[in-house]
Amino acid sequence: MTPQPQDATGQTISPYDLVMFQTTAGDGARRHDRGLAVRAPPTAGGERLISMLLADGTEAAKAARDVTVADRSFLFPGTTVAPASDPGGQTGVITGVATALDLVKLDVEGGEPRVVATGVSTAEVRPVNELSLGDYVVSGTWLGRVVEVSVDVDVLFDDGWACRVTNGAGDKLRVVRGMVRGSHDKKNAFYPGDRVAGDASVFNASRWLRGHWKPSRTEGTVAKVETGGVLVYWVASLNADVSAPPPAYQPNPRSLTFFCAGGSDLMWFWSVSRLCFFRHDRDPTNNNNNNNNNNNNNNNNKKNKKKKRRNGMKQRRRRAEFGAKKWPMVVANTRTTVDVLWQDGERQRGVPSASIVRTLVRSEQDFFPGQRVVGRTLSPPVDAGDDSNIATDARVGVVKSHSYKDQTVCVSWNTSSATTHEEEVVDTVMSTYDLARSSDHKFFYGDMVVRLHPAVKEETAALVQKSNRATNDNDLSWVGHIVDLCDAQYIDVKWGDGTTSKVLLHEIAFVKQRSLYEIHQEMGDWVHDEDDHDASDDKPNEEDTIDGGSDAQDALIGRGTAIIGKVGNIIKAVIRTLSGMLLAPGKMYMLSRSTASASIAEPAIMTENVQACSPTISDDGDCPAEEAAAAQALASHDTGDNVFNFKHFDVVQSPHDHHYLDNKEQECGGERKWLKRVQEEWKILDTSLPDTIYVRAYENRMDLLRAVMVGASGTPYHDGLFFFDLQLPPSYPTTPPLVNYHSFGLRVNPNLYPSGTVCLSLLNTFGGKDTELWSPESSSLLQVVISIQGLVLVAQPYYNQAGYIAQIGTPEGRRNEMPYCENTYLVNLHTMLHLIRRPPAGFEEFVRNHFCRRGRHVLKACEAYLQEGCPVGTLDGESLSMEVSKDWSCSMGFKLALASIVPRLVESFSGIGAKV
C-alpha cells in the first residue's frame, strides 16, 4: 500500500489541498506560487510527486517534500475533522466555513495576470454558469434541487460576428484550446475565452447575435456562457399542504433564487483555477469599461456623419466590445477558516483550515455534542421467553461530550422527579458501546432544514395561498442549515437571509439528502442521458447487491500456489483465498498490531486436511518457501469441539428453522448431473473440513446445508459460534450457493449484515475478478466455508469494510481499529447469549456442549480484559495474554459495557450446566 504523501513539515497532503511552493522567475528572483493538489503519483525511486493545478489551468509537479499545505477549502458544515498535528486524536465537526478569495484576470494573450480583488467572500461571486448541477434553488415557497442544466454558449468569430449555440454543453461544440481546464471540471464544460469549433450545420442552426452565417465560420471564441433552462426536483416547501410545486422545467433560471451549492457529493467547492463573476457589479475594471463604452457611443453619435472606419478596425472594435466585459475572473488563492466543535465539547472559531485534516470515517462509536442517542440493548434478558423482543430504551438523551480515549460519553437525560413531577436533567457517563444514535433524530450539523408554516384550516387555505403568492421570491428566511444542536430542546439554524435563530423540532422539517442518482431514477424520462456520468458516481450501494471497485486490490498481492506436494484445483483456490486474495469488501488483514506478534494466527485449515481436500490431483506441486511458511502459520489453529464426538459432517433430516426451507423456487428437481456434483461436495466436506467447522447436509432436502464455525483465538471472535444456512440452486455449480448468516439482528462483521447477507466475492455478492469470483470448475462448498472463516472472521475486521484497506498503518486506521474490535467482541458475547437461548435446530447439543467446555474460558477472557486491560484479540486459546498486548490497553468504555454483560453470561452458562 502506498502511504499518503507528506509535505515539508510532515503534514499529510490530501486531495484538493492548496499547496505552496517556490518558483524562479525570469529575472532569477524566487517567489511563492500556489496550486491545487490533484494527484500524487509515486516515482521509480519511491519519491512522491504532487501534481498541482495552477490558477491558469496548467499543471505543475513538485516533490512532496518541496511543498507546504497552505489551505483546505474542500470543507463543509458537518465535515468531521482532526487536528493536523494529531490526526489520530479526537475528532470534531465543522459548524461554519468562511473562505476568502483572491481574484485575478488572465491575459488571453499570455501576459501576466492582473489582480482584481483580494479577500473576496464567496457570497459575492458566482460561477460562470448561474446555476450548476446539484444546486439548491428557491421559487416562492418551494425549495428544489437542480438536476439538469441547459447551457447556451455565445461564440465570437474572428471577424467580429457572433452567434448563440443553444444547449452548447452537449456534443455540438468541442474545445480546441481551453482557457482554464481543471481536473474538477465536467466534460463538455465551456468557459469564456475557450477556443471552440463546431460543424457548419451547428452554426447555421444557431441564432445570430451579430452578422449572419457563413460556411467558413466554423471556429471561434466563447464570449459568454449562460444558463438556458434547468430541470428542478422540488424537495420541500414552507407550506406544502396548500401550495402546489412549480413546474419541474424552468425555462428562465433568473426567476429562481440560488440558495447553496450541491456540496461535497458533487465535488463542488471554491478553489484555485475556478472561474467566476461578481454577483453584483463591483469590478472597477468592468465599470471603467462601461464608462468608456458609453463615451465611445456618444462620440460615435456625434460623428455619425463621418466616413466609416476601415473593416479591419470595425472587426477589432466588435471583438473588443463584445468580449471585454465577458471574461471571467480566476481564483488565484484561497484562505479558509472554520468553526469546529470538538468531541470533548470545546468550541474553536476561526481555525485556519491548514491546521486540521478531514477524517474519512465516522464510526458507530463516534459521538459529537448535541447528537441524540438512546440506550442500546443487543440481547434480551436471560429469563425472557423465546418470543420476547429485545427491549429498547425509549429515553432520548443529548450528548454533552465524548472521550475518544476512554470510549465514554457524557449524556444528558430528561427524567421525571418522583416528588415534584417535574422534568429534571441528569448527566450520566456511559460507554459508547451502550449507546446508539436515535433513529428518530438523524439530523446533524450542516443538515438543511425548512421552516414549517403554522397549520391552517381549509377555509383559510386560500388566504395562505394568496400570502404565498405575495411572498418575495428572493426570501430565504425560511430555509437554512443547522449550526448548533447542543440545546436539549432547541436547534440553532442559520437561515438563508443570514440570520440565526433557535427553533423547536416541530417547527422545522429536515431535507433528506438524496443522491442525484436517486432523483434521476424517480424523475425517469425527464432527465437526459448526458448526465449519466454524474449519476453513476453518485449511485448508492445496496445491502444485498454490493459492487466493489478494484482500487484497493493494488495494496496486497494475491497469489495462488500449492502447499504440499501435488494439490488439486479446489485446494489451489482455497490456498489462494487464504494467501490474501480479495474475496470480501476489504482484504484479509493478516497483520497483527505488531510485527513481532507472529504468534497471532488467523483462522485456518489444518495442513493434513489441505493435503486430502481434493479428489482431483494436479501436476503442479511447486511451493515457494514464503508461501509454505504462510500456510503453516494459517494451519496453526485451535482444535474445535470434536472432543464431544460431534461429527464434522453428517447427513440428517432438514430442520424446521432453515432460512431457505420455504424457498421452493430454488429447490432442485434432482437432475442427475446436479445430484452427482452434490454428492462429490458431500464427500469433500466429509473428509476435509478443518477442526473448527461443522456442516450438516439433509437427505430430504439435498439443496440445503447448515454450517457452524468456531471463532479463533487471537481475534475478537474467539470462542464464539457463527451459523450459516446454505442452499444450492438448480443452476449450481454454474452459480454459487446462497448463504445466509444467523445474525440475530446484530452486525458482527462488515461482511455479515444484520439481514443475514454475506458479502463475499466468491458468492457474487461483492465485486471481484478472476479467481476472486465463483468458478464452476474449481470452486466448492469447502472453499466457501473456509473463505468465510479465513477472510471474514479475522483479527482486524475494521479493515474488511470496503475501501478501508487504505487505512492500514495510518493514524485514522489505528484510531478506529481498536474500538471496532471492542464492539465486535461485545456483539460476539451477545450472539452467545442468543445462541444459548435459541440454538439452531440440529445443533442444540453442540451449542450446549461448546459453551459448557468453553464458558469458563469466555469468563476468563472477560476477567483478563477487565482486570489486566488486555486489548481484544490478544489472548491465546487458554485466555492468557500474549506478549504483544503489553503495549496496548482496552478502553474504559469497553470495560463498562463488558462489566454489564458478564453477570448475564454467568447466568446463561450456569443454566446449561457449565462450570463457571
**Total residues belonging to the chain:** 916
Q: How far apart are CA 308 and CA 322, in angstroms?
A: 19
Q: Which of 679, 669, 787 is nearest to 739 (CA)?
A: 787
With a CB cutoff of 8 Å and minimum separation 6, the contacts of 843 are: 694, 696, 706, 708, 723
- 3-class DSSP state for residue 820? helix
CA-based radius of gyration for the chain: 33
C-alpha separations of 662 from 51, 705, 727 in Å: 58, 14, 11
- The torsion angle over the Cα atoms of residues 287, 293, 298 and 304, rounded to 10 degrees, is 180
Hey, which residues does 99 pair with through a beta bridge?
336
Task: Classify the C-alpha dihedral 53-55-60-62 as positive or negative.
Answer: negative
Hey, which residues does 63 pair with through a beta bridge?
49
Q: How far apart are CA 278 and CA 33, in angstroms?
A: 24
What residue has cell string 473448527?
A: 692
Of residues 163, 759, 862, 870, which has the active-site annotation? 759
Q: Which of 635, 638, 649 is nearest to 575 (CA)?
A: 635
With a CB cutoff of 8 Å and minimum separation 6, the contacts of 336 are: 71, 72, 73, 75, 97, 98, 99, 100, 352, 353
Please give the grid coordinates belonging to residue 416.
Answer: 421525571
Q: How far apart are CA 154 and CA 165, in angstroms?
A: 6
- 3-class DSSP state for residue 111? coil
Q: Are 425 and 412 in contact (CB under 8 A)?
A: yes
Please give the grid coordinates belonging to residue 215.
Answer: 460556411
What residue has cell string 446449561?
A: 912
Task: Output the DSSP codes for 132-189.
Answer: -TT-EEEETTEEEEEEEEEEEEEEE-TTS-EEEETTTTTTT-EEEE-S---TTSPTT-
Q: How far apart are CA 452 and CA 448, in angstroms?
A: 13
Q: How far apart are CA 310 and CA 293, in angstroms?
A: 19
The count of other CB atoms within 10 Å of the CB of residue 83 is 17
759 is a catalytic site residue: yes
Cα 765-770-773 angle, rounded to 5 deg: 25
Task: Output the DSSP codes for 707-762.
Answer: EEEEPPTTSTTTT-EEEEEEE--TTTTTSPPEEEE--TT---BTTB-TT-BB--GG
Helices (H), 303-429: 311-323
Task: Output the DSSP codes for 624-685.
Answer: -HHHHHHHHHHH-----SGGGT--SEEEEPPPTT-TTTT-GGG-----HHHHHHHHHHHHHH
Q: Which residues are catalytic?
A: 759
